Structure 1
Amino acid sequence: MPKSSFPALVFNGVSLSIIRQNNQTYFSASDIAKSLGYSREDAISNIYKRNIDEFTPDMSETVNLTVSGNLQKQVRLFSLRGAHLVAMFSRTSKAKEFRKWVLDVLDRETSQRTLIQDIDVKSLLLENHYELTAQLPAKLLNAIDKKAWEMTAEVHSLFREYLTHRMGGHQCKVSEQEVIDVPRALETIKNTTIGNALAHQFHSEIRSLERSIRFISYLSETALQEIRGVK
């Protein structure tokens, strides 16, 4: 059962929840409707139905999302490309701006994915280092071995955190029991690279920084309002 565990994206004051599905970003039809200025969610479903032959399977799908406690709701999701195509068929005043915004989001996501795929860990590790021409002293070799084991433990911890995080996306709820889609989870583990794990750590740090900035901004705004109130 997909769920959003990522910060929402904002378009013109409308918050769009990020739902990760099949390693892609999806938006709900409801959030897209609000962004485009529709008062009814079914306006997006109607656009989809009228032009369904132009949507590929990965552009849109229907899933069950938990909305409160055990209460689930069937919603239609659109990938970034799907959301862009919806906006192409939309005739609202916000459609043009929304199309540009979605493409910007898609470009950022594609750039991040390319960055992850292009990480050459060996080259990064060995950059600006040269082949040894002499045997290192035993004391230095022992220190290197010790440090190597420490770094190995750190990499193990990073991979464990990353894979555990990824497995969260494979959970679905059956009654009150959490179950895992084992074949899909095993495929994820099989295809995982150190570049993915390093990128995960990087994005985790970015998200933490973003939360801190938002909190500081909130405190600043609150203080400003109090000052204005005093005046």
Structure 2
Amino acid sequence: MQQYNTASNQGNSSQALATLSFNGNTLQLVTKNGQIWMTSADIAKALDYADVRSVTKIYSRNAEEFTSAMTTVVKLTTKGFGNGNSEKDTRIFSLRGCHLIAMFARTKIAKDFRKWVLDILDREVSTPVIEQPPAITDADWMRYSRSMTIPEMAQFTGHSEQQVINALHDIIGSPARTTNPAPVMTPELQHALDQFWGFIATQNIANLNHSDKQHELAISIPEVYELAESWQLPETSLLYKALRLSDTPRFYRANTVIASALIGRSRRVWVFVRSLSQTAIAKV
């Protein structure tokens, strides 16, 4: 585990929250709306990049993956020549934003930094943090609703399921309920599932699974269709409905971006959960 410590900062408390040490580097934290944020320069330092522009390039290449709750530009006071200070536009990242930057990073220390951000940074800062869900725009909610269920949106944004429902109700203008009728597994959908998992059973799952977790299957649907003949798999529109009803392995998340354990970069996948004792797909 990386060594870490905290120290109160005696400077401008409206900007600086505390300093932390990660892998021998002192990082200056920023507070915004009661949340912990970090500058591009400090993230670059933590990820062992010599040039802060490496983080800027990562963000620019993957900007569509970041929400307003993950990154923003603020004016920070910086020390100038002599005793003078000046304000400078600076891009900062929340804890979720720091984690996503590290998911795209290719340095050796990136994995340790991801763990540190999630497991240590938000618990070990000496100054208490106001635990409020980050502000999310209407456009963000609409984008999430196209690919996530209500529980998934709640987990991703840090809101309660009822808060998600209320937000969608305000945007869409129609009542939403926590309990919806369970989707029905029709013979057509069951056949689509059988086709899909039957084809997967003929393949080497190790070459298709982008997750490094033993109990997960993270599958890129387009990759599967590239391997199959047209008659071997159902229409994608039908399959996407059927996969949400998959029980063995159990459907977990749709159309989500992860850091692929196969190709070493981000990949959009569907995630399923299998039991720890399940070693093959041939039985599903």
TM-score (norm 2): 0.37
**Highest Rg: 1 or 2?**
1
**Whose RCO is larger (CA < 8 A, sep 6+)?**
1
Q: Which has the higher helix share?
A: 1
Q: Which has the higher strand share?
A: 2
